[in-house]
Homo-oligomer: A and B are copies of this chain.
Amino acid sequence: MTNFADRLIEAITEKGNPCIIGLDPRLELVPKIFFADSEDKTQNEIVEDVLFDFNSCIIDEIKGLVPAVKLQSAFYEQYGVPGIWAMKRSIRYAKQAGLIVVVDAKRNDIGSTAEAYANAYIGKTKIFEGDEAAFGADAMTVSPFLGADSLAPFVEAAKKYGTGIFVLVKNSNPGSGDFQDLTTADGEKVYTKIARMVDTLGQDLVGESGYSSIGAVVGATYPEEAAALRKIMPQALFLVPGYGAQGGTAHDTLPAFNEDKRGAIVHSARNIIFGQINQNVSREEYGHSVRENTEKMIADITGALK
């Protein structure tokens, strides 16, 4: 069982770039061609199959290009059980395609409940005599809001199953500052305190690559903060949202990397899977657009890293 950080670093090296593509489907934006095979199906079957088919088309195009994909859980949960089925099938398909899979679920709870969430996404649940992976992702995002004891079960699961977590530290939206940017009585920002916690929690899970399976979410929209956080968490892998649609540039993502140009993965979803695409394209045309959008992102990010 290989350490998650080592697996991710290896995949980044192999693909030659640190890009992670978001699989965030929305039925109203999916090209019509993916609905063509809907005859004789129930609505639930159509929803599940369209979401999965759309994702698998994206996966087929990008599997040779990037190291990882990220599934935003909300976009599946909103469709109820068929959506969740599509998420599960997409995770499996992406892993079979050799991609590292992160579920962006931002879960957080305490005690046995946190353990249940960890088991669900990055571990296994005891069912009768066996242990089963409910979703079987390689990593998930976790909110630190309920404190260090709420993160412990996720760290335990990461250790036990060779998986990883990305703890929300400094997010990409303006409102994230309402809480993360507060200055405490001792003069420190809240996000600094969270970063120290992440660094401490990650000590036990540092792999041969020098990186820990306990990573951090640090938005591209706040490059100055990212530079400070990189120093506090030298061994943490940074998952960087906010590039592209949210306004972060390739240059803005640089502070998330260490001096060796490693240690971060940069995320994009909308601009890749819905950028420059009209709804009447063929499957081939859609795949081609996704590939082009991905190659453009890769060139942008690797260019800035040079």
Contact surface of A with B, Cβ cutoff 8 Å: 24, 27-28, 43, 47, 72, 74-75, 77-81, 83-85, 88, 106-111, 113-114, 116-117, 119-121, 125-128, 132, 134-135, 143-150, 168, 171-180, 182-185, 187, 190, 193-194, 197
Contacts and interface: CB of A to CB of B under 8 A. Distances in A.
B88 A81 contact: yes
A125 B77 CA distance: 10
A74 B147 CA distance: 18
A214 to B, nearest CB: 16
Contact of A117 (B74, B132, B146): B74
11 contacts: A43-B127, A43-B128, A75-B113, A77-B116, A79-B127, A80-B88, A80-B134, A145-B168, A146-B173, A150-B175, A184-B184
Given A108-B106, A134-B79, A184-B185, A178 B117 contact: no
A197 B184 contact: no
A179 B145 contact: yes
A27 B197 CA distance: 33
Contacts of A114: 74
A110 B27 contact: no
A180 to B, nearest CB: 8
A117 B78 contact: yes
A145 B82 CA distance: 29
A148 B184 CA distance: 19
Contacts of A72: 109, 113, 116
B150 A173 contact: yes
Contacts of A182: 182, 184-185, 190, 193
Given A84-B84, A150-B176, A179-B194, 17 more contacts: A27-B128, A28-B126, A72-B116, A74-B113, A75-B113, A77-B117, A81-B81, A108-B143, A110-B173, A145-B168, A145-B180, A146-B173, A147-B173, A147-B175, A149-B175, A182-B190, A182-B193
Nearest to A121: B77
A81 B90 CA distance: 13
A179 B190 contact: yes
Contacts of A24: 113
A187 B180 CA distance: 16
10 closest A-B pairs by beta carbon, nearest first, are A147-B175, A149-B175, A147-B178, A80-B134, A74-B116, A110-B173, A78-B116, A145-B145, A183-B185, A78-B120
A190 B150 CA distance: 18
Given A80-B88, A134-B83, A190 B190 contact: yes
Contacts of A120: 74, 77-78, 80
A190 B185 CA distance: 11
Nearest to A24: B113
